[in-house]
Amino acid sequence: MIPSFTDLIVEFSVTTLSPARIPVRRGRLTVWAGLAVALTAVNLRTAVTGFTPLLEIIGADLGFGVALAGLLGTVPAASFAVFGFLAPVVTRRFGLERTATVALGLTALSLVVRAFSPTPLALVLSTVLALAGIGAANVVIVPLVKAWFPDRIALWTSLYLLLMQTGQFVAPLLAVPVAEATSWRLSVGVWAVPAALAAVVWLVLAARLPADHHRPQAPATTGARPRISRSSTAWGLVVLFAMMALSNYGIITWVPAVLTDAGGSPALGGSMIALYSAWGVAAALVVPHVATRMANPFVVVVACSVVLTVGYLGLIISPLEGTVLWVCALGIGVSTFPLCMTLINRRTRTAESASAVSGFVQGIGYGLACFGPLGLGLLREATGSWTIPLVALAATAVPGVVAGWFACRPRFVEDSATRPDPASAPSPQPETRT
């Protein structure tokens, strides 16, 4: 049975505050950690979805067109890729909490700079820096959940994804109205406030921890780290995540333009991105709990792929008739994102391994996905319509299903990475509730 939102909040309170579950010496720090994770989650998408509905307005003001808009749509995935790779390197030296502090601080400062950008170059550079911080935060939040709440991974994964998706759909909903009422600069810059707040909470927590707290160490038995690239499970997660990310950023960047070219208004585009993002809230509540109760959640991948394809075909055939239905299908179809985030923790044994796998999956996955927004824009210019770009997006469901088969098998990444006897390694079991 899938828990209701109220059940999740009640269990969150019990898990975080109950003296019976948390040693007294960690109880207060665990509360700080929970608050920090929650605030971080809110900021993981606002700098993207609160920005893309304003591209035409900003372009008219600063003097750039479709090509640069496509580049700006590619920046999130590219930044997440590069800094997804770098984040585990930083955490090995400074620890998870300190990395999160710097990441959110960089994001807050860069969002302020972006709001005051006088030229397109300044806009691009500040966007890269803002999303660099978010890229690092994307990676470290996964092992932080495993490190601080190891017996409540599904609950905390649901909660942080719920808050992330809330920020993702609120930002585009407010973007155009705030810009029209004031200016696009205020609409863009306001999201620096929650990012700065998250950085402060992480700073307070990090200051109370030893310097090597949650810093990954090399396994003592081998003196070397497992080679994640040997694991078919890890590669399955990479491709599944990449196909999801390519769809996600293609949708966020270009669905407003698809609707506008079909005769819709800019406000319709913003509201549909908000609706698309709202489905992530439902996915955040449902998918992690399903994934932790099924030995092999491959059926989730298949169902999401079918629904995603329906959404793309609907936009091709009738973009303004049934728009809500098609956008809802797209929102449901990318539910493989919370599945991937859950499986990173479920298919690893330690927070250290989860950090490494999170960087590996998100680094390569976003790297592959970064070609999506720019490539789709070029296809649109070359063909004169959105049909071919949308068909290309629908085709990503095929490698996604194949990769999902490998990602969902009940195996630990460490087992393949260190080449043990497969028969001797235990399989991940569904999470128990106490």
Looking at per-residue pLDDT, the higher value among 211 and 237 belongs to 237
- Alpha carbon distances (Å) from 379 to 365, 373, 393, 396: 22, 10, 12, 16
How many residues does this entry show for the chain? 434
Contacts of 77 (CB under 8 A, 6+ apart): 245, 246, 249, 366, 367, 369, 370, 372, 373
pLDDT reading at 221 higher than 70: no
Closest CA to 400 of 325, 307, 326, 322: 307
Average pLDDT (107-121) is 92
Average pLDDT (114-139) is 89
113's tokens: 């700079």
The tens digit of pLDDT for each residue in 148-161 reads: 888 888 888 888 88
The tens digit of pLDDT for each residue in 254-283 reads: 898 899 888 888 778 878 887 887 787 788
Domain architecture of the chain: domains with CATH: 22-215+226-424 (1.20.1250.20)
| The predicted structure's pLDDT at residue 333 | 94
With a pLDDT cut of 90, the percent of the chain lying above it is: 29
